[in-house]
Homo-oligomer: A and B are copies of this chain.
Amino acid sequence: MTEQGTMVHAAVVGGSGYTGVELVRLLSRHPRVRLVCATSRQYPGRGLSEVFPSLQGITDLRFSEPDPREICRNAHVAFSALPHVTSMELVPRLLDEGLKVVDLSADFRFRDAKAYAEWYHPHTRPDLLAEAVYGLPELYAESIRGARLVGNPGCYPTSVILGLAPLLHHRRIDPATIIVDAKSGASGAGRGLVLPMLFCEVNEAFKAYKVAAHRHTPEMEQELSRIHGNPIVISFTPHLVPMTRGMLSTIYARLLSAAEDEVLLSEYRAFYRNAPFVRVAPADQFPGTSQVTGSNYCDIGLKVDPRTGRVIVVSAIDNLVKGASGQAVQNMNLMFDLPETLGLDHAPLFP
């Protein structure tokens, strides 16, 4: 269905949150995609551009109820931006109808149903967990190409795994010393009505949240352990930054032996030589979030601190693009044998 010229028909399930509207932004301009369906329990029957005036003139689609038959009627692929558990209920039905699915919830990211159950909820479809592929193309492009179901990574895990993979791969660091101090813009919290996300609560404020208790922790540990070959336990503290988009992870670990910045940076460049969306910074430069806004890039810098024997890695993404919807489209490109960067070549919006 993806031979030259044919179009992939895509459905966005749960389209009225921020990852949903970001999927619509990306898919509506993707040269090989036709957006055929967007669902919303909140706004059924209303035009997407009525709910999101930014979309006026860009799509004439109306939101439909999240009815599986409706979703499946014309679509080849569905992006589920539903909350976890809700997604777990819908996705199997879409697969049964022959769709490919990229699921943006946590429901299909875990290889181990027990780990999922411990941090989330009992899993009702462990069989699908076994089949699902963890959708980080920089590590698993081959599996994603053949996948029917992709669990799209969380935003924090994306920035952290990409930031640490080369160090773990080359056994440069003691995995017991990994500390991740991460910071996210407010769009990561979604569009739900909760007091802490009101403008006056977030603006001119900086805070930590879910200290030592964030659900992205086991997801990171799963993938870092897999790269390293042994179980890894990390410290992870997320923070909320008074800005809309952007995520920056500052990662600390003890080096097993002294190393020069340039040597480690070369290993990063080599590790990501086929990864079009990872940009490794020159020595002594560290990415800020504003240099990736609106794009699918993950920018990485690092420095060795000889005083402490630690390496500090800084990794920056746009949480709504590489941290969610952009990565989902990247996965779709692979699943349909399209060029990995198709529809994702946006230059970042700076300033």
- A residues near B (Cβ < 8 Å) are 18, 21, 24-25, 28-29, 52-58, 179, 181, 183, 185-187, 191, 193-195, 197-209, 211-212, 233-235, 237, 239, 241-246, 248, 250, 252, 276, 279, 281, 285-295, 297, 299, 303-305, 307-308, 310, 312, 314, 316, 345-351
B347–A239 contact, CB under 8 A?
Answer: no
Identical copies in the complex: 4
Alpha-carbon gap, A248 to B248, bound state (A): 16
Q: How far is the CA of A235 from the CA of B311 in the complex (A)?
A: 10
Q: Which residues of B contact A194 (CB under 8 A)?
A: 193
- CB distance A290 to B205 under 8 Å? yes
Q: Is the CB of B244 within 8 A of A206?
A: no
Q: Is the CB of A195 within 8 A of B198?
A: no
- Which of A204, A279, A351 counts the most chain B CB atoms within 10 A? A351
Please name the residue on chain B nearest to A21 by beta carbon. B350
**Hey, which chain B residues are within 8 Å of A345, CB to CB?**
29
What are 16 sample pairs from A and B whose C-beta atoms fall under 8 A apart? Answer: A18-B351, A28-B347, A53-B287, A56-B299, A57-B297, A181-B181, A186-B199, A201-B351, A203-B243, A203-B351, A205-B288, A208-B250, A211-B305, A235-B310, A237-B252, A346-B346
B residues in contact with A246, CB < 8 Å: 204-206
| Selected contact of A205 from candidates B212, B250, B289, CB within 8 Å | B289
User: Contact at A243–B244, with CB atoms within 8 Å?
Assistant: no
CB <8 Å contact, B244 and A308: no
- A-B interface, 7 closest residue pairs, ranked by CB to CB distance from nearest: A207-B288, A205-B290, A212-B305, A181-B181, A200-B351, A199-B202, A54-B350
Residues of B within 8 A of A204 (CB): 185, 204, 243-246, 289-290, 293, 351
Q: How many angstroms between the C-alpha atoms of A244 and B199 in the bound complex?
A: 8
Closest residue on chain B to residue A285 by CB atoms = B53
**Within the complex, what minimum Cβ distance (angstroms) separates A24 from chain B?**
8
Given pairs A185-B204, A206-B241, A239-B250, 14 additional interface contacts (CB within 8 A): A29-B347, A52-B291, A53-B281, A56-B281, A58-B347, A198-B198, A199-B201, A199-B203, A205-B288, A206-B288, A207-B290, A211-B312, A212-B312, A241-B241
